[in-house]
Structure 1
């Protein structure tokens, strides 16, 4: 059965009661772009829409296996913002991921910079990684404030690099632990 969900979406009843497989189109709101993008997702799930797929897909490759769920969801949201050309929103999600990393690793401090310094005492990360996280924090701060303090602008190149950095750092902090546990489990006793 076909059901119209909105002006751009059409839904097909899924096997589960009350759920619809949705396909639709989005047009980039940027008047200079106006690129047409196809989307698909499962609508009506108790937890909200399931995995949203875009075509053409993002140029950012995301491997979030082994990451804590909230960090994974935040990085996925950053990528979706990037795919929609919402550079500032993507950078804000990256900053949120930094805060979630600090929460997950129980880093303490009143300000995020203090929490990053504490994070360096709790996990094996180099001073360069702490500096990268601090720079991402500054980029995120600039993304939410009208007056830029640390960066001249927030553009596609900033958002893409920010997402790539947070994916790499998250993988090193969480995926490495998971892979190490898996390898240990394979070891003969």
Structure 2
């Protein structure tokens, strides 16, 4: 970020306080929402515009989680979030996940949000291992366990191939001498998380969806 102009006085209209609303996916409850300010913001002038520093609260009454944000004020009165803490995470659904699988995947999500990409790849691989264990998919190696998993859950062939790529990404993240160790970044990890989410849906959430559809159909009949 460019160094702020130290001799630039804040306009009196802003010195009185006030905040800007920001759109975030809440890091606490994982719902998208428009966050309002709590207390007064601190303001700093940059050549690119005014930057607000302040506390925001989740709009959901069952959450009201606290988030600290750094936001760039736009000319139309809106703001772009530059940084937030806790950081915003990718969208995902925890419905039906066993606690140990949930803990591992949640750690992978949090590592990605904090830009710890190799750590996220490792925890995503561990999520695969835990899913295999939970489903009784046995084998001497992870690749064999993933193949066994394909016999126990309804998984498209393309997803099984993608899971093998995800396993290899975990290898690259684990070994310093791996060919692609330094290339495990946000792009690779975001893709790995998307593949893992599809696996979790297929294994743990598809049956629940089918049950809900069946109950809905029965009710209509």
- TM class, shorter-length: 0.5 to 0.7
User: TM-score scaled to structure 1, two decimals?
Assistant: 0.67
**Which structure's CA Rg is the greater one?**
2
Higher relative contact order (CA 8 A, sep 6+): 1
Count residues in correspondence. 145
- Match 1:146 to one of 176, 181, 187: 176
Q: CA RMSD in A?
A: 2.7
Structure holding more strand per residue: 2
Instruction: Answer yes or no: is 1:38 the counterpart of 2:90.
Output: no
1:118 corresponds to: 148
Q: Do the aligned partners of 1:67 and 1:171 also contact (CA within 8 Å) in 2? A: no
Structure 2 CA distance for aligned equivalents of residues 183 and 67 of structure 1: 20
Specify every segment of 5 or more residues in structure 2 that has no aligned partner in the other structure, as ranges: 1-64, 70-81
Which consecutive residues of structure 1, in runs of 5 or more, have no partner in the other structure?
A: 1-21, 27-34, 40-53
Alignment equivalent of 1:65, drawn from 95, 102, 119? 95
Q: Does residue 107 of the first structure (1) align with residue 143 of the second (2)?
A: no
Question: For 2:93 and 2:148, how far apart are their aligned partners in 1?
Answer: 27
Q: What TM-score results when the alignment is normalised by the length of structure 2?
A: 0.58
Deviation per residue, 1:45-87 (Å, 9 max, x gap): xxxxxxxxx3xx13x2111212222222222111110111000
Quick check: 1:64–1:171 contact (8 Å CA) kept in 2?
Answer: no
